[in-house]
Amino acid sequence: MALITAARERLAPAASAGHPRGTWVLAAALVLIVLQLTVRSVLAFGGQFYWDDLILVGRAGLHPLLSFELLGYDHDGHLMPGAFLVADVVTSFAPLQWWPAAATLVAGQALASLAVLRVLWLLLGPRPALLGPLLFYLFTPLTLPAFAWWAAGLNSLPLQAGMAWVAGDAIRAARTGRLRYALSGTAVTGVALLFFEKSVLVPAVAFATVALMYRLDGRPRAVRTAARRAAPLWLGSALVLAAWAAAYLSLVESRFGAPTADMVRGLTHHGVSFGVLPALLGGPWRWDRWNPGPPWADPPTGLVVVAWAAVLAVLVWSLRRSRRAGWVWAATAAYVAASTAAMISTRFGPDTTYELAQTLRYHTDTAVVVVIGAALILRTRPRDDPRPSPARRIVAAGCAVAFTASCLWSTATFARTWSDNPTGAYLAAAKSALTARPDVPILDHPVSVWVLLPVTHPHNLLSRVFSSLPGRAGIGDVTTELQVLDDRGRLVPAELVPVRHVLPGPAPDCGHLLTDSTTTVLPADTALVGGEWTVQLNYRASADGEIEVGFPAGPRVRVPVTEGLGTAYARVPGAGTGLQARSASPDLDVCLAGGPIGVVVPR
């Protein structure tokens, strides 16, 4: 009880004073948050690494913690040093283990949920009506897909937490004029920007919250008053945004483009009608998936129709309650439109399907905006009857129960769909295989296409994905024993499928003679186009040492050789009519025979 009282006083001392019901409202809110975190923990710890997660882990294993190569990386249009920092810490603590990553998701969700509770308390005070918007945020499936996917969660959870916290700081700064809220809001904005560029909207949402609060309260010149009373926060946020924009524009290649009108209509319709609106009622109930892609909402047609009808009904009700509520609806619609426009302009392409908009992760932060908007509308006093009747309370309780049941069903069906992820079993088998014989080097090659598609190259290579795995075999460009990981993560014997051949050399009883004084051309029977090729090197060496081999315009690969006859396999990227080779050790002479150039596949 003492803890609840202290929390209540911390949230809003003025609002809670003289309101004994504030204790039970806060207690109920905290119980709901605990229930949410329990449900989300089951989802998180039952998951596994997926897609971009392995890119974050791979880069964390390759680069030092505070290096520019790690923190300043342009990750598919995202500048997210905070996410890479968290990934590095987690990877250093427990390489390629899922449970610490899941713990960060739950911790991030806890921060976001408490921040939402704070802003609701500041807007509504210790009123039972606070529990409605809070219940929506805690259990809506709108935030599910981004939460379950670690890389997406590292983007979206700091954005959600930052949006709610800075909106609360803006309210406190406007009410009290204290500088500490401006400093806190500015700092949180900066932290959110370290995780996700969409956090540029955090100050805008905070400003809209204060301005709409004043307008719905009937204050004159609401926008001007909001700008003046929290001016230090807006100034600090503007400076942070300017510094961040300079870094973003200098480090990130622009992905913005102009999609076709059909693409805009299709993605907007699918994102709103099949994604956002059903989630407002706890949908979509059903999910579909094209592995290895992420799940996407697949609501029944009836739910889509009911969702549209419900939104229109709530719109009419809120306008009858207060005509000023129209401003809240306009602001919420503008945010949804901005999120949709950002998704379309950066993710459209000839191969883009409309189901992309139904994955919901591009609208996760909309949940916070909807919650703030609902609180602003509930804040206004009804024009007809200021006291809700028992019948209204019963209807509200029934709606809350139905909504929660709908959300939990959608969560359960999502978890079932999300569990169809082969990455966990693949990583477990691969870690065991790669550490079984650490003394035998393995030729670098892509992981299974069911784990990472070739479009992620070079992040899909074994050397990247397993860069942080301790005690593993060396993974590189040279081996004497061809092995590959199959689609189940097992290390199996492999063979070289020839595409071209190195022609025999001119030296009698030698072939191609390599010395340390000259570079020898190894002509192929036909030119090779650009690619990742493997060459079989059959040699006779005069001593132990190294040779270098590669395409004329490509990187040279250093290949260890041992005295006498031997065979090595080298991975040589590039293109050309043949290879070039030389001895890389003084007084080492090596004879090379002709051999195949091709690709390595499981035997």
Q: Which range has the worst mean pLDDT, 17-31, 262-276, 581-595?
A: 17-31
559 shares a domain with 468:
no
What was the pLDDT predicted at 291?
85
Q: How far apart are CA 183 and CA 110, in angstroms?
A: 23
435 shares a domain with 548:
no
Segment 78-104 mean pLDDT: 96
At residue 211, what is the residue type? A
What was the pLDDT predicted at 19?
56
What was the pLDDT predicted at 384?
57
Boundary (domain end) residue, out of 431, 464, 489: 489
Residue 376 lies in a domain: yes
| Mean pLDDT across the chain | 92
Structure tokens at 10: 């911390």
What was the pLDDT predicted at 349?
75
314 pLDDT band, cuts 50/70/90, is: very high
Residue 595 belongs to domain spanning: 496-602
Q: How far apart are CA 481 and CA 426, in angstroms?
A: 22
Segment 49-58 mean pLDDT: 96
Q: What is the pLDDT of residues 149-204, one digit of tens each?
A: 999 999 999 999 999 999 999 999 999 999 999 999 999 999 999 999 999 999 99
502 shares a domain with 479:
no
Residue 244 lies in a domain: yes
Question: What are the phi and psi torsion angles at 521 (to 5°)?
Answer: -85, 130
Separation in Å, CA 3 to CA 35, 130, 352 = 18, 20, 51
Structure tokens at 427: 């990583």
Residue 394 lies in a domain: no
Whose tokens are 């449900």? That residue is 39
Q: Which range has the worst mean pLDDT, 167-181, 236-250, 256-270, 362-376?
A: 256-270
81 shares a domain with 54:
yes
What was the pLDDT predicted at 4?
44
Contact 255, 77 (CB under 8 A): yes
What was the pLDDT predicted at 382?
66
Contact 288, 298 (CB under 8 A): yes
pLDDT at 18 over 70: no
Cis peptide before 454 (omega within 30 of 0): no
User: Packing angle between helix 222-229 and helix 231-251, nearest 10 degrees?
Assistant: 80
Segment 485-497 mean pLDDT: 95
Cis peptide before 458 (omega within 30 of 0): yes
pLDDT at 88 over 60: yes
pLDDT at 386 over 70: no
pLDDT at 296 over 50: yes
What was the pLDDT predicted at 387?
62
Structural domains counted in the chain: 3
Percent with pLDDT over 70 in the chain:
95
Residue 437 lies in a domain: yes
Residue 153 lies in a domain: yes
385 pLDDT band, cuts 50/70/90, is: low
Determine which helix (DSSP H) or strand (DSSP E) holds 499, and give its type and residue range: strand 491-502
What was the pLDDT predicted at 276?
96
What was the pLDDT predicted at 67?
94
178-213 in b/e form (b: 16+ CB < 10 A) is: eeebbebbbbbbbbbbbbbbbbbbbbbbbbbbbbbb
Q: Tell me, what CATH number does 536's domain have?
A: 2.60.120.260
What was the pLDDT predicted at 233?
97
Cis peptide before 300 (omega within 30 of 0): no
465 shares a domain with 405:
no
The DSSP output letter for 385 is -
Identify which has the larger pLDDT, 256 or 589: 589
Residue 593 lies in a domain: yes
531 shares a domain with 483:
no
Q: Please provide the DSSP assignment of 245-279 as one string.
A: HHHHHHHS--------HHHHHHHHHHHIIIIIHHH
Contact 364, 156 (CB under 8 A): yes
What was the pLDDT predicted at 260?
85
Q: What is the pLDDT of residues 405-451, one digit of tens each?
A: 999 999 999 999 999 999 999 999 999 999 999 999 999 999 999 99
pLDDT at 7 over 50: no
